């Protein structure tokens, strides 16, 4: 018997798993469905960040520095969740780096279409928001 390399074992595993994955994805009831929220957001929704407490922080677009929070209902469903308004960013921005820190704070860096004049020179400014 010839020794099998790890690449051959990996290929064999893929050849076995891929048909099973494709077949299971085609089963009825596995298709994704979108469900309309019961309560509409107060503004158009942009970037959404899932926070450590289970709420969703959502950027609004009028004028682009406002934030909203979607809090799930008592059963944990966002469909019947409630909206609240959060503090605005000091600098409106779009297309930025973001990260939810373990503490629950949200970190934002840079972005386009900011109201901060030095953004055109390549310098960036970071923001850290608390919930």
How many domains are there within the chain?
1
Per-residue pLDDT of 43-55, as tens digits, reads 988 899 999 999 9
Q: How far is CA 22 from the centre of its chain?
A: 26
The answer to whether residue 39 is domain-embedded is no
What is the C-alpha to C-alpha distance for residues 41 and 129, in angstroms, rounded to an integer? 20
What are the tokens at 12? 């064999």
The answer to whether residue 2 is domain-embedded is no
The answer to whether residue 82 is domain-embedded is yes
The answer to whether residue 8 is domain-embedded is no
User: What predicted TM-score, i.e. pTM, was given to this entire model?
Assistant: 0.64
Averaged pLDDT, 125-131 = 52
Residue 122 contacts residue 111 (beta carbons within 8 Å): no
The answer to whether residue 37 is domain-embedded is no
What is the C-alpha to C-alpha distance for residues 59 and 66, in angstroms, rounded to an integer? 6
HSE, CB side, 13 Å, CA atoms: give it for residue 16. Answer: 6
The answer to whether residue 103 is domain-embedded is yes
The answer to whether residue 11 is domain-embedded is no
Residue numbers of the domain that contains 114: 45-129
What are the tokens at 28? 């009825």
The answer to whether residue 76 is domain-embedded is yes
């Amino acid at each position: 018997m010839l020794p099998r390399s790890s690449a051959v074992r990996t290929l064999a595993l893929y050849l076995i798993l891929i048909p099973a994955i494709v077949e299971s994805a085609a089963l009825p009831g596995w298709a994704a469905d979108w469900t309309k929220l019961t309560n509409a957001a107060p503004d158009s929704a942009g970037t959404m960040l899932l926070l450590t407490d289970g709420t969703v922080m959502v950027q609004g677009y009028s004028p682009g520095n406002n934030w909203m929070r979607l809090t799930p209902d008592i059963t944990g469903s966002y469909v019947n969740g409630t909206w609240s308004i959060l503090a605005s960013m000091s600098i409106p921005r779009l297309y930025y780096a973001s990260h939810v820190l373990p503490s629950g704070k949200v970190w934002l860096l840079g972005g386009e279409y900011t109201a901060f004049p030095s953004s055109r020179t390549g310098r960036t400014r970071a923001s850290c928001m608390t919930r």
